[in-house]
Copies of this chain bind each other. A is one copy, B any other.
Amino acid sequence: MTSVEEPARPGERERVRDAARTQAEILDVATQEFARAGYDGARVDEIAARTRTTKRMIYYYFGGKEQLFTAVLERAYGVIREAEQQLDVEHLDPVAAIRRLAEVTFDHHEQHPDFIRLVSIENIHEAQHIAASGKLARIGSPALDVIGRILEEGRRSGLFTADVDAVDLHAMISSFCFFRVSNRHTFGALFGRDLVAPAQRAHYRAMLGDMVIAYLTAERAAD
C-alpha cells in the first residue's frame, strides 16, 4: 500500500534483520493477496512465499490469518483517514465545497481498488474484524466533521434545503463511488458498460457532483 521496497535510507545500512521492514512487507503482500482472493481464498503460504521472509514470521508478528487480515484492514483505513485529514475545502462556498469533497472521494475510491475490495470482503464477513479491532470500531471519519460544517453553513445561507445529516450525505457520496469500483465487473458483464473506463471518468465524476448538489439545493414542498 504505502511502503514499497524501501531501499535502505542513505546512511542507514540495509540490516539483515529489521522488524519494522519485515512487518511492513508482510502487510503489503497480505493486502494484495486478501484483496485478490478474499479472506478464505487467500493463502498464508502464498503471502509468505511472496515475502522475503517466511510463514513463521507472519505468526510471530501477527498471531494468525485472522489477525493478519485485521491488521491489513487497520492499515488500509488508516490511509483514508490520513487523506481525509488533508481535506481543505472549507474556504470554498458550500456548493463548491461539497462538489470538491465529492470529487476527492471519487478520486480516492478510483485510486484504491484494493481498499474497496477489502471493504467488500469485510462486509461479507459482517465486519467481524472491525468489531474485534478496537482500533477501528467506531473510529468515525474526519470527513464527517467537514461535511457537517459545510452542511450547516449551506443551510444557514439558505442554499441547502435537504433534510440530511453528515452521515447520510457521506453514505450517498460513498455509495456512488464505491459501487462504481466494487461492482464494475458484474455491471460490465451484464450491461456492457465499463464504469471505470478512463473515457467515462469525467462524465461520472460530474454526474456525482451534479447529483449531490441537485439533491441538496432542490426546491422542496414545504414540509
- What is the interface of chain A, defined by CB distance below 8 A to chain B? 37-41, 77, 117, 119-124, 126-127, 130-131, 136-141, 144, 162, 164, 167-168, 170-172, 174-176, 178-180, 182-193, 195, 204, 207, 210-211, 213-215, 217-218, 220
The answer to whether A138 and B190 have CB atoms under 8 Å apart is yes
Query: Knowing A178-B183, A215-B214, A218-B218 touch, does A131 contact B189 (C-beta < 8 A)?
Result: yes
The answer to whether B189 and A138 have CB atoms under 8 Å apart is yes
The answer to whether A191 and B170 have CB atoms under 8 Å apart is yes
The answer to whether A141 and B182 have CB atoms under 8 Å apart is no
Q: In angstroms, how far is the closest chain B Cβ from the Cβ of A202?
A: 12
Give the CA-CA distance A45 to B179 in the complex, in Å.
Answer: 33
Which residues of B lie under 8 Å from residue A172 when comparing CB positions?
176, 207, 211
- A-B residue pairs, 10 tightest by C-beta: A175-B179, A127-B185, A214-B218, A40-B40, A40-B41, A214-B214, A127-B189, A211-B215, A130-B189, A214-B215
Secondary structure class of chain A's binding surface, majority of residues = helix
Give the CA-CA distance A189 to B125 in the complex, in Å.
Answer: 12
Which residues of B lie under 8 Å from residue A127 when comparing CB positions?
185-186, 188-189
Q: In angstroms, how far is the closest chain B Cβ from the Cβ of A8?
A: 36
Give the CA-CA distance A175 to B25 in the complex, in Å.
Answer: 34
Give the CA-CA distance A186 to B162 in the complex, in Å.
Answer: 25
Which residues of B lie under 8 Å from residue A214 when comparing CB positions?
211, 214-215, 217-218
Closest to A130 in B: B189
Which residues of B lie under 8 Å from residue A136 when comparing CB positions?
189-190
Q: Pick from B41, B123, B190: contact of A182, CB below 8 A.
A: B123
The answer to whether A119 and B215 have CB atoms under 8 Å apart is no
Which residues of B lie under 8 Å from residue A189 when comparing CB positions?
127, 130-131, 136-138
